[in-house]
Amino acid sequence: MQLEIVTPEKKVFQGEVSEASFPGADGSFQVLNNHAPIVSALANGAVSFTTPSGKQAILIDGGVVEVKDNVIVVLAEKVIG
Q: Could you give all domains of the chain from N- to C-terminal order, each with its CATH number? A: 2-76 (2.60.15.10)
Closest to 75 measured CA to CA, from 15, 18, 22, 33: 22
The total of other beta-carbon atoms located within 10 Å of residue 37's CB is 8
**How high is the pLDDT of residue 81?**
78
**Average pLDDT of span 47-55:** 97
Residues 6+ apart with CB under 8 A from 44: 23, 59, 60, 61, 62, 80
**pLDDT over 90 for what percent of the chain?**
99
pTM of the complete model: 0.95
3-state helix, strand, coil in the chain (%, to 5): 0, 75, 25
